[in-house]
Structure 1
Amino acid sequence: MKTYRLDISSWTASFRYPNLISGLQPTLEVPPLSTVLGLINAAAGQYLEHEALEIGYYFEFAAKEVDLETIYMIEAGKKGQGSNSAKSNVIQREFLFETRLSLYCSNRKIVDYFRTPVYPLLLGRSSDLATVEQISEVELVEMEKANKIRGQIVPLKGNYLPGVIQALPKYFTNTFPRQNIGTEPYSVIRFNNFDLATKISAFRDNSLQKDGVDIYFHHFKLQDYVVSHLSQI
């Protein structure tokens, strides 16, 4: 399969666990799908309502450490709005160092957004600035029973791959406040994981690591998740 690969790097990255507010703030070792779709929105400079999108990605890093960070907690005002009252606190936050994201997409329009991004590209927080190193066309080899799936997230349902199991959103609404869409459990599989015997169909990029990596492609159609979300409200 021919597709485009966008190589994006950053000095630091941090992908917070949903619903963790206080105490040590750990980082996921692979960005959620919502983070990658947000990256595409930043490059496009607008909220994209995807009619049909197919993307895959691979993520690796050199090290993981903990740093101290000052945060400011704003007290809730009337009707849930923020007030002018805030107090500072120091927390521990995990972060990833020297990261690299390889994003696969056959949609030429989306790829072109990354040639001249409208907004800064971030891999996590506002300080985690990212750079597009290279955009290239690649040939991926289809693997019916992929065994080198690593550096990715894969839906748990129907696949049941070992890894850190975490409920993650696919996307967020274009409203205020934003609401998550399509949350489901995923297996978070780090880049240096061992080979896994699976029944998953994926596409191998032989240029990654010494023996290649099998890329799982996510299929996304925004309208499906919006309808499902509205039915639950």
Structure 2
Amino acid sequence: MRVLKVVAEGLTTSFRYPHFMHQVHPSFPAPPPATIYGHICSALGEWFDPNGVKVAYQFTHQGVARDLEHIVVAKPASGKLKLGGTLHSKVLEGNINPFEREIFFRPRLTLYINRPEWLPMFRSPRYAVVLGRSQDLFTYTSVEVIQLEQSERAYFGYTVLPYEMALQARRGVTVLMPRFIDYNRNRHPNFQRYFVVQDPVLLPNEEGLRFAGVRYGPYWIDPTAPKFRDAPLGLIFLSFVGDEE
């Protein structure tokens, strides 16, 4: 299986929970698939048909911090404002609301896409490379096409897996993430449950515990990535629309 492998690095980033609006903005532990879709679009320079496009990715960072930011909530104003001895009609007025945002320091994204023909677009992206907020600039440190292999044993870490793999991995958190933002339907968001694994997990597990009816391997692996306990890096590909395989 030939895939495009892209490594992107930045200084800071954050993936805000969409339902938190005031006082504190916590971050998802990894970029949601909808964020990855937007990231790919910025490199291609246009919206692409998500059907058939699959991605796998790792997201790591060197620390978590909280930053103080401000939101100005504006509304139409009434009355006059005196400037330089002349009265002017007020246009807007508002309140400044401080809040804390959770941010990741020195984030690194390793992205695999089943579209090796997109190599030229990522080597010369159309728009600024960002991940998360518009001010979180990134740079591509590696863009290449690699050949994946299959293995009955692999490790998974710092990644987003389908929710159904929770029984296999067991060590992670279940998160409801935006899967795809439909711009043809007024930015309608589609959400889906995922299982986020941060610490490396070996599959099949070392304890030999297996659940009936659960498929274990073979897994796609990246033979060029560093190993963990002599196990290669496993990749589970996610889609943006339709049913997950």
User: Hey, what does 2:189 align to over in structure 1?
Assistant: 180
- Cα distance, 1:124 vs. partner? 0.8
User: Hey, what does 2:35 align to over in structure 1?
Assistant: 35
User: Hey, what does 1:202 align to over in structure 2?
Assistant: 219
2:238 equivalent among 205, 218, 222: 218
- Cα distance, 1:210 vs. partner? 4.4
Please tell me whether the aligned partners of residues 153 and 203 of structure 2 are also in contact (alpha carbons under 8 angstroms).
Answer: no
Please tell me whether the aligned partners of residues 155 and 184 of structure 1 are also in contact (alpha carbons under 8 angstroms).
Answer: no
User: Hey, what does 1:19 align to over in structure 2?
Assistant: 19
- Structure 2's unaligned 5+ residue stretches are 77-90, 206-215
Structure 2 matches for 1:50-69, cutoff 5 A? 50-69=50-69
2:102 equivalent among 94, 117, 120: 94
SS of match in other structure, 1:18: coil
Q: Amino acid of the residue matched to residue 59 of structure 2? A: F
Rounded Cα–Cα distance in structure 1 between residues aligned with 2:196 and 2:3 = 24
User: Hey, what does 1:108 align to over in structure 2?
Assistant: 116
SS of match in other structure, 1:195: strand
Please tell me whether the aligned partners of residues 66 and 101 of structure 2 are also in contact (alpha carbons under 8 angstroms).
Answer: yes
- Cα distance, 1:30 vs. partner? 1.2
Rounded Cα–Cα distance in structure 1 between residues aligned with 2:218 and 2:21 = 37
Alpha carbons of structure 1 residues 175 and 50: separation in structure 2 relative to 1, 3 Å: closer
Please tell me whether the aligned partners of residues 57 and 109 of structure 2 are also in contact (alpha carbons under 8 angstroms).
Answer: yes
Number of residue pairs matched by the alignment: 215
Q: List structure 1 segments (4+ residues) > 4 angstroms apart after TM superposition.
A: none
- Structure 1's unaligned 5+ residue stretches are 77-82, 226-233
Higher mean alpha-carbon deviation, 170-179 vs 31-40, is at 170-179
Please tell me whether the aligned partners of residues 8 and 110 of structure 2 are also in contact (alpha carbons under 8 angstroms).
Answer: yes
SS of match in other structure, 2:42: helix
- Cα distance, 1:201 vs. partner? 4.4
Q: Amino acid of the residue matched to residue 50 of structure 1? A: P
Q: Please give the root-mean-square deviation of Cα atoms over the aligned residues, in Å.
A: 2.6
Please tell me whether the aligned partners of residues 24 and 100 of structure 2 are also in contact (alpha carbons under 8 angstroms).
Answer: yes
What is the TM-score of this pair, normalised by structure 1? Answer: 0.81
Alpha carbons of structure 1 residues 201 and 20: separation in structure 2 relative to 1, 3 Å: farther
- Cα distance, 1:141 vs. partner? 2.8
Rounded Cα–Cα distance in structure 1 between residues aligned with 2:186 and 2:164 = 29
Alpha carbons of structure 1 residues 47 and 19: separation in structure 2 relative to 1, 3 Å: same
CA deviation string 1:47-69 (max 9, x = no partner):
11223112211111111111111
What is the TM-score of this pair, normalised by structure 2? Answer: 0.77
Please tell me whether the aligned partners of residues 18 and 168 of structure 1 are also in contact (alpha carbons under 8 angstroms).
Answer: no
